[in-house]
Amino acid sequence: MESRSITLILGGVSSGKSRYAQELASRADEVVFLATAQSCDDEMRAKIARHIRERPPSWKTVEVPFELDQAIIEHGSLASFLIVDCLTTFTANWLMVKQASRESIFSRMEAVGSALLSSPASVAIVSNEVGGGIVPQSASGREFREILGQVNQKIARICDNVVLMVAGLPVAVKGTAEAHL
């Protein structure tokens, strides 16, 4: 792996975000996949199992639905590359499961940002770009969209690269779209 970098990968559902993150990590010696999803039902358990099978067996998967900053600190000092997949689910976990306030979510994201900046590992962070779609009908949906948009902005500010995935193709928003490919 060349020099350390932090890359935020944004896009819609099935736009190629996770695949691109894995391509970035593919040249690294030691990869840790920080998974924020929780296996709450059969469909999600099957999806998680399929995703684990699709990754190289040498990659370590760690489930971190809530303490992402601590996981970045712990695993970033041991691995050469971290994949955080994804900030959308992480934000939803705090909003829905922990019933956290907007302010406490932003405070948590400050801790995540500090952990990212202090990590010696390169990091690819996946998140959904939800601002370009339809306006949600429910107040909670609109609140989530607003919070996630602000979370993405906070993380984008500290990243070396921000990539928008469109139809499986990376488009550079900040830095380069092919930082390590």
Helix (H, G, I), strand (E, B) or coil at 72: helix
Find the radius of gyration of the CA atoms of the chain. Answer: 15
Nearest to 181 by CA among 170, 165, 173: 170
Q: What are the C-alpha distances in Å from 20 to residues 24, 103, 146, 153? A: 6, 31, 25, 20
Q: Are 62 and 30 in contact (CB under 8 A)?
A: no
Is the bond preceding 159 in cis, omega lying within 30 degrees of 0? no
Active-site residues: which are they? 51
Q: For residue 130, give every residue at least 6 positions away whose Cβ sits within 8 Å of its Cβ, in sequence order, or none.
A: 88, 144, 145, 148, 149
